[in-house]
Amino acid sequence: MHEPIDYIELPGGDLAATKSFYTDAFGWGFTDFGPTYAGFQGAGLDGGLAGGDAATSAAPLVLLKADDLDDALERVTTSGGTITAPIFEFPGGRRFHFRDPAGNELGVWGA
């Protein structure tokens, strides 16, 4: 199976200020998904800003897309990955986070 990189999530902190910065500096557009998350478009790759407590990390988070999230979680664990956040609901579907053997944290999501 091949799970492509689907989007990148950036910590947003003060969401209004961060959206304003990227709009003014780079012309990105945003779609709000509640008070703590905004998707961005126009950056060459889809992504989102996680504001306030919704931010899971102080670093960008690469998210892969899987057709079968439960199967992807099992493949990550049997291949040596460490689950850092089990499957949870978020705007648009469900996802989980893991660390690879080198310590990089990524997420996998599915509808």
Report pLDDT for 11: 83
Report pLDDT for 10: 85
Residue 36 burial (CB < 10 Å; 0-12/13-18/19+)? middle
Domain annotation for the chain: domains and CATH numbers: 5-110 (3.10.180.10)
Tell me phi and psi for residue 8, to 5 degrees: -120, 135
pLDDT in tens, 28-49: 889 999 888 999 887 667 788 8
Report pLDDT for 43: 63
Cβ-contact 94, 69 below 8 angstroms: yes
Block means of pLDDT (10 residues each) for the chain, length 111 residues? 80 86 83 90 75 70 91 91 95 91 87 83
CA distance 33 to 44: 20
pTM of the model: 0.72
Report pLDDT for 97: 95
